[in-house]
Copies of this chain bind each other. A is one copy, B any other.
């Protein structure tokens, strides 16, 4: 189903060169549909503050709560509006090989620059099965492999990564296991992005990582850019830690969703099964923002502590 139109094509090397990729939040309207105005505003904030790529519909963007047609639509929308300025990486991975194939074909057809692919979470499979899964999609275009055993229930064995890394379309690995694992790969010439905001500074400057696929950069894109581009900076890294720790106390993107709503850049709407952080954590966030400086965060409004009644959770959408 491949299209050869030049406009669609980005080289794998282009993807390999990215240092700051944001796993973008998907904002919602009160009825649970996408809030594209808010989304476009978030995209502008990313572009203006130096993000070079975005993951559309990642776990942070709640791709697992989208139907595939919503997901592909969002990729197509992002490419159409911003694809000339920033690399658009669609999370077209799935634990179903059929769905991963279908979504990746469609994502590349609407112009995404690269795909993010996960090993089959929940269902799990053998090492041979994981390789077959990735091989079913690798021929379609530039691809980042994503390893996050705390979500998938299964670590992708390094032997599988090594096999898959030989494909010309493999741009590299988003690795969440830790910096020793990262070093193992970067020593062999495999590009790696840290998937852990708290480890990404060291990964980048001490373990050979190319950069980060970040959640925190949704909030402080400029600081994350500085962390990845301006040289080793343990002071900045330490300064960011309270924010990062706060972000991940509950499974991501619960903290992020709560934070963006309090910064006034998205409506306080949650698709279930996500629910907002409790009030005491919401107060903590406001203090963190004041400590770090409101000017480093996205948005122009005062940060505020939202009330329970301000939040909307939607089950049918």
List residues of A whose CB falls within 8 A of some B CB.
1-5, 7-8, 29, 33-37, 39-40, 59, 62, 64-65, 68-70, 72-74, 76-77, 79-81, 83, 95-98, 101-102, 105-106, 109-111, 120-126, 128-130, 132-133, 136, 149-154, 250-251, 254, 271-275, 277-278, 313, 315-317
Q: Which of B37, B105, B132 contacts A273 (CB 8 A)?
A: B132
User: Which residue in chain B gives the minimum CB-CB distance to A278?
Assistant: B128
Bound-state CA distance A54–B238 (Å) is 53
Across-interface contacts of A40 in B (CB, < 8 A): 3-5
CB of A101 within 8 A of CB of B254, answer no
CB of B59 within 8 A of CB of A129, answer no
What copy number does this chain have within its complex? 4
Q: Which of B64, B73, B79, B126 contacts A254 (CB 8 A)?
A: B126
Bound-state CA distance A64–B5 (Å) is 26
CB of B65 within 8 A of CB of A98, answer yes
Please name 14 further chain A to chain B contacts, defined as beta carbons within 8 Å, in addition to the given A2-B36, A73-B110, A98-B317, sorted by A numbering.
A1-B36, A5-B81, A59-B122, A59-B123, A62-B123, A69-B106, A76-B79, A76-B80, A76-B110, A77-B109, A81-B111, A98-B316, A124-B251, A128-B275
Q: List 9 A-B contacts (CB under 8 A).
A: A1-B33, A8-B80, A8-B81, A76-B80, A76-B110, A79-B80, A97-B273, A98-B316, A126-B251
Across-interface contacts of A271 in B (CB, < 8 A): 97-98
A77, chain B: closest CB distance, angstroms: 5
User: Which residue in chain B gives the minimum CB-CB distance to A3?
Assistant: B36
CB of B98 within 8 A of CB of A315, answer yes
Bound-state CA distance A36–B140 (Å) is 13
A1, chain B: closest CB distance, angstroms: 5
Are A132 and B313 also in contact (CB < 8 A) when A3-B40, A73-B72, A106-B73 are? yes
Bound-state CA distance A130–B251 (Å) is 11
A279, chain B: closest CB distance, angstroms: 12
CB of A80 within 8 A of CB of B83, answer yes
A132, chain B: closest CB distance, angstroms: 6
Bound-state CA distance A37–B36 (Å) is 31
CB of A7 within 8 A of CB of B80, answer yes
Bound-state CA distance A29–B272 (Å) is 23
CB of B77 within 8 A of CB of A3, answer yes
CB of A132 within 8 A of CB of B80, answer no
A106, chain B: closest CB distance, angstroms: 5
